[in-house]
Amino acid sequence: MTIRYVESSKLPTPWGIFSMHGFEDTGADKEHVVLTMGDVSSGDPVLARIHSECLTGDALFSLRCDCGAQLQAAMHRISIEGRGVIFYLRQEGRGIGLLNKIKAYHLQDKGADTVEANEQLGFGADMRDYSILRPMLEHLHIKALKLMTNNPRKVTALQELGIEVVERLPHQTGRNPHNAKYLETKKGKLGHWLDHPEEDG
């Protein structure tokens, strides 16, 4: 695995101006982006979101998942704090890729849940690799995070990389009738920390 820093630029958004840092994964031939706001290298824990690419949710406004809503909520939360980081990782469909994700969606249309669909295609329930974060964190001089996530696997992965997670912040948003089963599968089969719908907010 070779992650190479390429360049940084400003990124104006509805939530303020972020700095956008480009990284190239030469081994996997993928490009990743990190968004920062404020001074993240001061040594103090940084408000953070690890977000896996979701073209359907992030850009096409799909209601089958909560990804787009989670990304926007993270950008909003960081803008309020004035300091934070979002790791935007090119690991579409929990790591199976966009076209396989469409195949998985087809199986879900026929009744499979997200885990069953991935497994029917010959993949694991979650194929994402968070070890690629290490060189990005090192480049940004980040050693401790306040992590916005409902996924215990992300917390464990960071701790195994030697990154201190000083706080885990619930990040629930975007529940709707189209993704209710998806969210329950996340909770029941993948162990995500999700409250009941009436407590969601």
Binding-site positions for GTP read 49-53, 70, 92-94, 114, 149, 154
Residue 95: alpha-carbon gap to chain centroid = 11
Q: Is 128 a catalytic residue?
A: yes
Contact 89, 128 (CB under 8 A): yes
Contacts of 92 (CB under 8 A, 6+ apart): 52, 53, 54, 55, 98, 101
Annotated catalytic residue: which of 25, 66, 128, 175? 128
Find where tokens 């920390």 sit.
193
Q: Which two tokens stand for residue 23?
A: 């990284």
Binding-site positions read 49-54, 65, 67, 70, 92-94, 114, 149, 154
What gap in Å lies between CA 108 and CA 87, rounded to an integer?
28
What are the CA-CA distances from residue 125 to residues 67, 180, 193 (Å)? 17, 18, 17
Annotated catalytic residue: which of 77, 126, 153, 168? 126
Q: Is 109 a catalytic residue?
A: no
- Using CB atoms within 10 A of its CB, is residue 89 exposed (0-12), middle (13-18) or buried (19+)? buried
Q: Which residues are catalytic?
A: 126, 128
